[in-house]
Amino acid sequence: MLSDFSKTFGDIIKSDGGKIIFVVLDGLGGIPYYGGKTELEAAKTPNLDRLAKESAKGLHIPVEFGVTPGSGPSHLALFGYDPVKNIIKRGIMEALGIGITPSTDEIVARGNFAKCSEDDGKIKVLDRRAGRISTEINKNLCSILSEKIKMIEDVEVKFYPVKEHRVCVSLKGKGLSDEIGDTDPQKEGEYIRRPQILGEDTYEKRRTADIVEKLTFKIFEVLRSNEYAQCILLRGFSKSPDIESFEKRWKLKALAIATYPMYRGIAKILGMDVAELDGENIDSQIRALKNNFEKYDFFYFHFKKTDSRGEDGDFEGKVKAIEEFDSIIPEILSLNPEVLAITGDHSSPSALAGHSFHPVPIMIWSKRAFKDGSGRFTERDCRYGSLGLIYAVHIMPLLLAHAGRLEKFGA
């Protein structure tokens, strides 16, 4: 990977220049599936394809060759932070995304409500997302748990509904550690795990793992007869991280336009402003972009449906999500940004029904771009684009250069 660009070349980053719109179609990349096509290849995308001919195209590696990334590290890489050196766990992103700021003696985790059953004293996972229950059902389940579970030993427990099957769980008390693993086995048919100790074994880590294991069985005890979900799978136990702000690193005043709490959370961690939306659809995001366009230099525009449909193994659903985004491109271009970049944070092929290690398509449209002149915006066509195959951490310097925000280096 490139050395830390902002430290090595910070002196050439300008505080003025053109506006940048950075669109992240979550889980965008795919692999050939139905009819030997990827979702991008199967989708009808006249606007993306026209833009592709006027842009520089390529593929990016979110973390490292062969590594399947989570959403946290892949987003950090997109924003120009080394995802290996800067670890931000999912729990804190989820918490901040729904407006929770943990105290110093509190750890938070991201959870999935899941369908489960008891099997010889263990909890077996039947559906990791409980059929993607509605947010209203989620709120009701959190209300039930909040009434029945307030403490585990001397640790205060709180449950916060997020969206659909997502939940945020907080543990507050002395002597807790966030250096423990997940309870989520990541696969149906397997058992909920006792959290592993990460790194050196300490009393605080063992105690926290004990608390989490007891909490898991208590949740199952309370919900075992519920028709929608019977337990919670926990991931990303975390405290608040200390990380350099996006504005300080890149000299850009940034606005995040995202509907999902986790992505709003990572934006807050990096010090971005987060747009208040008047709805949870792409139209509300476009309105926020237009209403705030004169106030910011950089816009992070996140679209979730491509990832959700990919994770569900829903090829046609992901195709439709891509086509939905394609329809609003003229509205984005009507703002006349200096740079429009479109990519994904990682690949979520429907063929695999989950995140994968495959490279992600990217295109950069600007007057400074090397216009490739041919090809669609697909995985195969991006292989031959002028950007080549790059690491995701290289993207932010490229966006600055295309926006005229980098001085010449050296005499």
The alpha carbons of the chain give a radius of gyration, in whole angstroms, of 22
Least Cα distance to 78 among 38, 28, 7 occurs for 28
| Tokens matching residue 298 | 């950089």
pLDDT (tens digit per residue) in 331-380 = 999 999 999 999 999 999 999 999 999 999 999 999 999 999 999 999 99
What integer is the mean pLDDT of 120-147? 96
Q: In whole angstroms, what is the distance from residue 286 CA to residue 281 CA?
A: 9
Q: In whole angstroms, what is the distance from residue 54 CA to residue 19 CA?
A: 18
> CA separation (Å) from 21 to 44, 177, 374?
23, 38, 23
pLDDT at 92 over 90: no
Question: Model's pTM, two decimal places?
Answer: 0.78
Confidence tier at 411 by pLDDT (50, 70, 90): confident
pLDDT at 2 over 70: no
Q: In whole angstroms, what is the distance from residue 277 CA to residue 283 CA?
A: 10
What integer is the mean pLDDT of 380-408? 97
Q: H or E segment at 391?
A: strand 388-391
Q: Do 371 and 305 touch, CB atoms closer than 8 A? A: no
Q: Quote the pLDDT of residue 321.
A: 97
Q: In whole angstroms, what is the distance from residue 220 CA to residue 119 CA?
A: 12
Q: H or E segment at 282?
A: helix 282-292
Confidence tier at 98 by pLDDT (50, 70, 90): confident
- Runs of H (alpha helix) within 152-260: 203-223, 246-250
Backbone angles phi, psi at 104, to 5 degrees: -70, -20
> CA separation (Å) from 118 to 223, 226, 231?
12, 13, 11
**Cα atoms in the 13 Å half-sphere on the side-chain side of 82:** 10
pLDDT (tens digit per residue) in 355-367 = 999 999 999 999 9
pLDDT (tens digit per residue) in 278-318 = 988 999 999 999 999 999 999 999 999 999 999 999 999 99
CB atoms within 10 A of CB 99: 11
Q: In whole angstroms, what is the distance from residue 299 CA to residue 221 CA?
A: 45
Q: Do 337 and 345 touch, CB atoms closer than 8 A? A: no
Q: Quote the pLDDT of residue 253.
A: 97
Q: Do 194 and 161 touch, CB atoms closer than 8 A? A: no
| Tokens matching residue 124 | 């077996």
**Cα atoms in the 13 Å half-sphere on the side-chain side of 210:** 12
Q: Quote the pLDDT of residue 3.
A: 58
Q: In whole angstroms, what is the distance from residue 398 CA to residue 393 CA?
A: 10
Percent of residues, the chain, with pLDDT higher than 90: 87
Q: Mean pLDDT across the chain, nearest whole number? A: 94
Domains of the chain are: 5-86+243-402 (3.40.720.10), 94-238 (no CATH)
CB atoms within 10 A of CB 15: 11
**Cα atoms in the 13 Å half-sphere on the side-chain side of 39:** 32
DSSP at 128: T
pLDDT (tens digit per residue) in 169-204 = 999 999 999 999 999 999 999 999 999 999 999 999
Q: H or E segment at 94?
A: helix 90-97
Q: In whole angstroms, what is the distance from residue 44 CA to residue 26 CA?
A: 18
Work out whether the CA dihedral 250, 21, 80, 263 comes out positive or negative: positive
pLDDT (tens digit per residue) in 67-83 = 999 988 999 999 999 99
Backbone angles phi, psi at 159, to 5 degrees: -120, 130
Residue 300: strand pairing partners: 22, 256
pLDDT at 104 over 90: no
pLDDT (tens digit per residue) in 12-55 = 999 999 999 999 999 999 999 999 999 999 999 999 999 999 99
Q: Quote the pLDDT of residue 102.
A: 87
CB atoms within 10 A of CB 277: 16
Percent of residues, the chain, with pLDDT higher than 70: 99
